[in-house]
Amino acid sequence: MVAGVCGTAFRLVDAEAAHVLRRYGARIARSCATSRAVLHALDLCRRGRAVCLEGPDGVVIASLEVDPGNRCALHILLAASEGRPGAFRRAEPDIAAIAADIGAAEIRFDTDRPGWVRLLGPQWHRRGDTFFRSI
């Protein structure tokens, strides 16, 4: 297999490409992401402020954000898997490698789904609806 972004299994794709929408559109529609959040993520991709990464288990739209303290974070705006259990755990090391390679100090994502607390490891912390971990 050819190495993708930052030597990981993820590759850069157009978020609005037909194969991406066909493959993940229904999963995104069924997710807890609001249609406004989906449109926002797609708009950021269109404007070059976010990237869409496709991996073996799904797709991730992420942006690099800088907080007031000048710390960079890889912010996961949207993610959808193909539905096989364990996709997050399989993807997390590659997402962490990408974040580290681009100089991010942390990874973060927002969700109101309480089940993430049980799924995430001890390196993850929660602030309101935001989950984050250091790199």
Integer Cα distance of 88 and 101 in angstroms: 19
**For residue 74, what is the enclosing H or E element?**
strand 72-81
Integer Cα distance of 58 and 10 in angstroms: 9
Q: How far is CA 36 from CA 32, 103, 129, 134, in A?
A: 11, 29, 17, 28
- In the chain the domains, ranked by start, together with CATH numbers, are 5-134 (3.40.630.30)
Tokens standing for residue 18:
């037909």
Q: So what's the pLDDT on residue 18?
A: 66
Integer Cα distance of 100 and 105 in angstroms: 7
pLDDT along the chain (135 residues), means of 10: 78 82 74 75 91 92 92 93 86 96 95 82 92 95
Tokens standing for residue 94:
């590659």
Q: Which pTM does this prediction carry?
A: 0.87
Q: So what's the pLDDT on residue 1?
A: 42
Residues with Cβ within 8 Å of residue 66, at least 6 apart in sequence: 72, 73
